[in-house]
Amino acid sequence: MTRVAVVGAGRIGRHHARLLAAGEVPGLELTVLADPLAPDLDELAAELGVGRTVRDPLELAGDGSVDAVVITAPAKLHPELIEAFAGAGVHIFTEKPLGVDVASATRAVADAQKAPIVFQVGFNRRFSESWVNAKKAVVDGAVGAVHRIHSITRDPGPYAGDPARTAPGTVFNETLIHDFDTICWLNEGSEPVEVYAVADALVVPEAKASGFQDSAVVVIRFDNGAIATAEASFCAMYGYDLRGEVFGSAGMVQMGDPTNTAARLFDATGLHADTHGTDESRYHAAYRAEFQAFADRIAGADVPAPGAMDGLRAQWIAAASIRSAAEGRRVGLDEVK
């Protein structure tokens, strides 16, 4: 059994801790919760039946008490945590992104690649059923040569975040990073070469002056000629909306459904269907599947999963998008690598 610590007991860390503590992933045993700040860390551990809590996650890099970590700390801390745990030979599952800038992400990746560990990035969308099926359609040639990929991420509204506490570039580094990864995965074998991005504060316009961005569109050109577009919003009032499509010379495959049920209610006011709640409800199965891949890889299985170079490629696109949106011009990926 692989002994696992969840490092960062915030929103998604709690989801992942609950999933692991419930025994949903055979092979992984949650033994430690680490978080320097969460006021209720001990209560959470008691509720989940986790035997140990630590305030300094780096303690775990030195004491040999865990075999693997799930890093769910804020994005800017990922590189230093990756470096510490890679140096200690601890298997790493890190939530996306690798970091918030290419330089620190590159250093972290170099350390992870040198270490004899399993390293995986939390690009859970790759494990979602319709994206799995779309990938298969592309690989099987059903779509033909890929011409266009489109990807949508709209977080469920109403927007409840705090622009003042949102790091610059979050819409690219933390939201669209999923789209950047799945676009590259669906166009595997070719490399992104150039992006053009526009971003604005359309959900919270009063925060625009501080540089806050809650809405963005990115065009990505690939070296095989494919043109991808990705768009994000922090507020879709009808619920969590993740969709995409791959269009090619032989056909098209579509992913995602904004409704969470096949039931349609027809009444005097029209046609109705329930929509999705949050990432935690919609993607629970995908999160479980990515952790199962992590467990299987630690056990020696050759299972496909997003790794260091996938994290870095998505980080390059995010960095180029940030620069493009700031400077109002097309940015080559060579400028940010």
Rule CB under 6 A: say whether 77 interacts with ligand NAD: yes
Binding test (CB under 6 A) with ligand NAD, winner from 9, 32, 60, 293: 9
What is the distance between the alpha carbons of residues 21 and 335, in angstroms, rounded to a whole number? Answer: 43
Binding test (CB under 6 A) with ligand NAD, winner from 4, 5, 6, 7: 7
Task: Quote the least distance from Cβ 143 to ligand NAD, whole Å.
Answer: 26
Stretch that binds ligand NAD, among 74-82, 129-137, 187-195, 250-258 (CB under 6 A): 74-82
Rule CB under 6 A: say whether 11 interacts with ligand NAD: yes
Q: Chain-centre distance of CA 162, in angstroms?
A: 20
Rule CB under 6 A: say whether 10 interacts with ligand NAD: yes
Beta carbon nearer to ligand NAD, 69 or 253: 69
CA distances from 106 to 98, 143, 254 (A): 9, 34, 33
Beta carbon nearer to ligand NAD, 95 or 241: 95
Secondary structure, 3-state, 213-250:
CCEEEEEEEECCCCEEEEEEEEEECCCEEEEEEEEECC
Question: What does the per-residue mask of binding to ligand NAD show for 189-218, with x meaning CB under 6 A?
Answer: ------------------------------
What is the distance between the alpha carbons of residues 213 and 215, in angstroms, rounded to a whole number? Answer: 6
Rule CB under 6 A: say whether 152 interacts with ligand NAD: no
Binding test (CB under 6 A) with ligand NAD, winner from 5, 6, 57, 317: 57
Q: Report yes or no: 180 and 98 within 8 Å, Cβ to Cβ.
A: no
Residue of closest CB approach to ligand NAD: 10
- Number of residues lying near ligand NAD (CB under 6 A): 24
Task: Quote the least distance from Cβ 187 to ligand NAD, whole Å.
Answer: 21
What is the distance between the alpha carbons of residues 180 and 173, in angstroms, rounded to a whole number? Answer: 10
Stretch that binds ligand NAD, among 32-40, 126-134, 239-247, 264-272 (CB under 6 A): 32-40
Stretch that binds ligand NAD, among 9-17, 45-53, 141-149, 235-243 (CB under 6 A): 9-17
Task: Quote the least distance from Cβ 324 to ligand NAD, whole Å.
Answer: 21
Beta carbon nearer to ligand NAD, 196 or 291: 291
Binding test (CB under 6 A) with ligand NAD, winner from 6, 19, 48, 75: 75
Stretch that binds ligand NAD, among 73-81, 135-143, 218-226, 302-310 (CB under 6 A): 73-81
What is the distance between the alpha carbons of residues 252 and 248, in angstroms, rounded to a whole number? Answer: 6
Q: Which of residues 88-127 bind ligand NAD (CB under 6 A)?
A: 95-96, 122, 124
CA distances from 304 to 70, 272, 294, 307, 332 (A): 18, 38, 10, 9, 29
Task: Quote the least distance from Cβ 257 to ligand NAD, whole Å.
Answer: 18
Q: Is the dihedral of CA 140, 142, 144, 150 positive or negative?
A: negative
Q: Which of residues 277-316 bind ligand NAD (CB under 6 A)?
A: 279
Rule CB under 6 A: say whether 37 interacts with ligand NAD: yes
**Residue 219: exposed, middle, or buried by beta-carbon count in 10 A (0-12, 13-18, 19+)?**
middle
End-to-end CA separation in angstroms for the chain: 38
What is the distance between the alpha carbons of residues 121 and 176, in angstroms, rounded to a whole number? Answer: 15
Q: Which residues bind ligand NAD (CB under 6 A)?
A: 7-13, 34-38, 57, 72-75, 77, 95-96, 122, 124, 174, 279
